[in-house]
Amino acid sequence: MICDNLDINEAGHLTFAGRDTIELAQKYATPLYLLDEDKMREKCRIYMTAMKKYFGEKAQPLYAGKALCIKDIYRIMREEGMGIDVVSPGEIYTASAGGFPMENSYFHGNNKTDSDIAFAMDTGVGYFVCDSDTELLSIEAEAARRGIKQKILLRITPGIDPHTHQSINTGRVDSKFGAAIETGQAKALVALALKQPHIALMGYHCHIGSQIFETEPFTDAADIMLGFSADMKDAFGFEAEIINLGGGMGVKYLEEHPEIDYEANIAVIADHMKAVCVKRGLKIPAVRMEPGRSIVADAGMTLYTAGTVKTIPGFKNYVSVDGGMPDNPRFALYQSPYTVVLANRMNEERDFVCTVAGRCCESGDLIQEDVPMPRPNRGDIVAVMTTGAYNHSMASNYNRIPRPPVVILRGGEDKMIIRRETYEDMLACEI
C-alpha cells in the first residue's frame, strides 16, 4: 500500500487509520472525506524535529493552509508548535477562529488589498510576505497609522524550474509572484523596505513549485537566496535573519512514486546551506519551510459509492461515482494521479480497467483513468487515496452538488468536523 495508514481487514475491506472504511461510509454516507489526525501529527513532527536538528533551534516549519484549511487543523498545528502560511483574510479568519496564535503566521499573496492588510494587522498576523513595491508602501502606511513596526519578508523569485507541472511552478522569473533577482527588482525592493520607518525587514522568501521529489531544486533555491542575502549585505549592510524556502516537497500518490524521506531531504538542504553560509560569510539564518501537501495529503481519503458501470465495446469501461470534480478537481485541472480502489472488495482480482468518472454534466469530470479494479456493482465503495491536500480546499458547488462532510479519525474515534452541506447552505447567500 502507498502509505502505512492503509491496510486490508479480514472482511476484505480497506482500512484507513485502523478503521474499516465501509463502516465509515455506512455511518456517514458518501461522498465522504476522511482525515487521519495521527498521520498529520507524524508529518508535523518529522519536519519539526528534522528542521531543528539540521538547521538549529531557530528553524521552524510553517504549515501551508491552502492545502487544507479547516479550523480543527489549526488546533493540531498549534499543539504541534508549527507556524502557518496564510494567503487570504478567509484563511486568517479560519486559523484565528481555530485558536491559532497568529504571531506565528506568515501572510502571503500577490495581491493583498488595503483592506486585507488592515484585517491581517487587526488579527495580529506576525509576518507579511511582501510581494511588490506598492504592497510594501501600503503595509508601511497602515503600520504608520497604527504606530507599529510590521515584520515582513520579501518574496523573491529565484528563477528556478523545478521540472514540475507548469501551472504549479511559481518560482520562475516570469511569474505573477514576487520580485526577480535577475531584473534588479528584488534589490530595489530591499532598498525600499529598508527606508520605511514602520517596517522591519526580517528576510526573504521563495517558493519554487509543488510536488517536487528531488532535493536539487531546493538546494539551488537556497544557493540563490543566500547569494542574494550576501549581495544585499554587501550593498546595504543588511543581513537576513530569516530565509523561507517555501513548500513543495512531493507526496507519494502512486505505488511507482518514490518513497520520500523528508528528514534526509532536510538534512541535505541544511548541509548545503551551512556550507554556503560559511563560504559567503553569513550567519546561519532562521530557516522556514512551508509544507502543505506533504503534511496533509496522505492523511486524507475520499470515499464514494459506485453508480453506473458502463462498458463501451471496443473502447473502455466507465465507473461513475457520486462525487467528482466538485470535491476533487485535480484530475480535471492537472491530470493528477491518484490510487483508486474498490474498498469493499480489496482481495478480489483487479481485472476490470476503467475510467472513474464524477457525476457532473461535463466529460472532463474524471477522477482517474486506467484504474484496475474488480468490476464494480452499483453500491460498491470506491476509495481515492491521498486526497488530504488541495481537495477540500479546492472544492466547489459545481452543478449545485453539496460539499461532502469531513470526518477526522483519532485514537480509534471518528468525529465529524464539517457536516455535509445542505441545499439551504448553497442558497444561504442568495437574497
Least distance to ligand LLP, CB of residue 163, Å: 14
130 is catalytic: no
Residue with cell 528563477: 159
Give the separation between CA 354 and CA 69, rounded to whole angstroms: 32
Residue 77 near ligand LLP by CB under 6 A: no
Residue 294 near ligand LLP by CB under 6 A: yes
Give the separation between CA 155 and CA 168, rounded to whole angstroms: 17
Closer by beta carbon to ligand LLP, 47 or else 55: 47
Sheet containing 14-16, strands listed edge to edge, beginning at the edge strand earlier in sequence: 6-8, 14-16, 19-20
Give the separation between CA 245 and CA 256, rounded to whole angstroms: 27
Least distance to ligand LLP, CB of residue 422, Å: 27
What the block records as the C-alpha cell of 371 is: 484504474
Q: Which residues contact 219 (CB under 8 A, 6 or more apart)?
A: 268, 269, 272, 273
Q: Which stretch binds ligand LLP (CB under 6 A): 19-27, 227-235, 240-248, 371-379?
A: 240-248
Which of 3, 35, 44, 67 binds ligand LLP (CB under 6 A)? It is 67
Which of 13, 43, 288, 330 binds ligand LLP (CB under 6 A)? It is 330
Give the separation between CA 202 and CA 231, rounded to whole angstroms: 16
Task: Scan residues 96-135 and list those touching ligand LLP (CB under 6 A).
Answer: 108
Contact present, 156 and 186 (Cβ < 8 Å)? yes
Residue 292 near ligand LLP by CB under 6 A: yes
Q: Give the DSSP H/E element, type plus range, for residue 272.
A: helix 262-280
Residue 64 near ligand LLP by CB under 6 A: yes
Residue 390 near ligand LLP by CB under 6 A: yes
Closer by beta carbon to ligand LLP, 28 or else 253: 253
Site map 208..227 versus ligand LLP, x via CB under 6 A: --x-----------------
Give the separation between CA 254 and CA 273, rounded to whole angstroms: 31
The footprint of ligand LLP (CB under 6 A) covers 64, 66-67, 85, 108, 168, 170, 207, 210, 246-248, 290-294, 330, 334, 389-390
Residues serving a catalytic function are: 361
